[in-house]
Amino acid sequence: MFSYRHAFHAGNHADVLKHTVLIATLQHLLQKDAALTVLDTHAGAGLYRLDGDYATTSAESADGILRLVAPATPPALTPALQDYVDMVRAFNQGAVTRVYPGSPFIAQRLLRDQDKLKLFELHPTDARALAGNVAQLEAGRQVAVLPEDGFEGVKKFLPPPARRALVLCDPSYEIKSDYGRVLDLVQDSLKRFATGVYAVWYPIIPRPEAHDLPRRLKTMANKAGKPWLHATLTVKSSKLAAPASENQRRPGLPASGMFLINPPFTLQAALREALPQMAELLAQDRHATHGLEVGG
């Protein structure tokens, strides 16, 4: 049950997509003075060392964030991608990127004094690491670390006092039941707080549940009469040959998506610029592509 560790995947292409969307969404929501509550259902450890044992085992950041920050002559980035790169750089000193901020630290860096951040993490090791990392922020009561099941935990915070919330849901999906639990979470949350912003990350892999998830989220949003946005990033073909030897590294994730209900109206334009550049810069083969749909 507790096998998944995001430290192995920190800074990969899926994080580039997820965190670019997160930053652009928060920047819009924080333009209003009223307090915002951010609920992160699967917060992880919060901060990751890209030169640590976990990250170097898979080295996925080499084909993710490091492609954007490592070149001697960095490419001119679209505004949304530039904001993402600037955020990561803010956690590092000098030209070398050694630290990668997860969604908890990205959100906390953007939040104002009146905003709240609730971080759920069930993995015992990551929950302890998260608590230790957050303690260094000295953020007081603004940030709460909750070592519990985020699928259930968010319920007690919806609706929030100021009636403004962003829920980020990005489980590992290692357990097939996660797909159904994501759908249950979104459906229940919309009943509790219909005007909240709900952002779901998911892997695009050869599994029926993965392809079914965005379709069912779309149906759910349409039935509720809510606008939605669906962004996808593919960096390589999912039809990869099996490893030639036991020592060969397993093929990594080929693609992922972000599905938002009640997205900021500014997000579509930001991603229409950013997604093609992501696909170009992070491509691992000729099958790299992107997608952007909106509705509602």
Nearest to 61 by CA among 113, 9, 20, 132: 9
The answer to whether the peptide bond before residue 208 is cis (omega within 30 degrees of 0) is: no
Residue 138's pLDDT is what? 81
Q: Which entry of 170, 178, 184, 212 is annotated as an active-site residue? A: 170
Residue 280 marked as a ligand binder: no
Q: Which residues contact 252 (CB under 8 A, 6 or more apart)?
A: 12, 58, 60, 63
Residue 132's pLDDT is what? 95
Percent of the chain with pLDDT strictly greater than 90: 83
Residue 250's pLDDT is what? 56
SS (H, E, C) 123-147: CHHHHHHHHHHHHCCCCHHHEEEEC
The answer to whether the peptide bond before residue 124 is cis (omega within 30 degrees of 0) is: no
Residue 6 marked as a ligand binder: no
Tens-digit pLDDT string for the chain (296 aa):
334 456 678 999 999 999 999 999 999 999 999 999 999 999 999 999 998 655 455 579 999 999 999 777 778 999 999 999 999 999 999 888 999 999 999 999 999 999 999 999 999 999 999 999 999 888 788 999 999 999 999 999 999 999 999 999 999 999 999 999 999 999 999 999 999 999 999 999 999 999 999 999 999 999 999 999 999 999 999 875 444 444 445 568 999 999 999 999 999 999 999 999 999 999 999 999 999 999 98
The predicted-structure confidence for 193-241, as pLDDT tens digits, reads as follows: 999 999 999 999 999 999 999 999 999 999 999 999 999 999 999 875 4
Q: Which two tokens stand for residue 9?
A: 């995947």
CA distances from 96 to 57, 68, 86, 91, 92 (A): 19, 12, 13, 11, 7
- Contact present, 167 and 198 (Cβ < 8 Å): yes
Which helix (H) or strand (E) segment is 120 a member of? strand 116-120
Residue 237 marked as a ligand binder: no
Judge whether 170 counts as a catalytic residue.
yes
The predicted-structure confidence for 174-197, as pLDDT tens digits, reads as follows: 999 999 999 999 999 999 999 999
Residue 252's pLDDT is what? 86
Q: What's the CATH number of domain 6-239+250-295, 3.20.19.10, 3.40.50.150, 3.10.105.10, 3.40.109.10?
A: 3.40.50.150
Residue 150 marked as a ligand binder: yes
Residue 52's pLDDT is what? 66
- Contact present, 50 and 61 (Cβ < 8 Å): yes
- Contact present, 39 and 156 (Cβ < 8 Å): no
Distance of CA 16 to the CA centre of its chain: 8
Residue 59's pLDDT is what? 78
Residue 246's pLDDT is what? 46
- Contact present, 166 and 29 (Cβ < 8 Å): yes
Q: Which two tokens stand for residue 145?
A: 């670390």
CA distances from 75 to 71, 86, 284 (A): 8, 13, 17
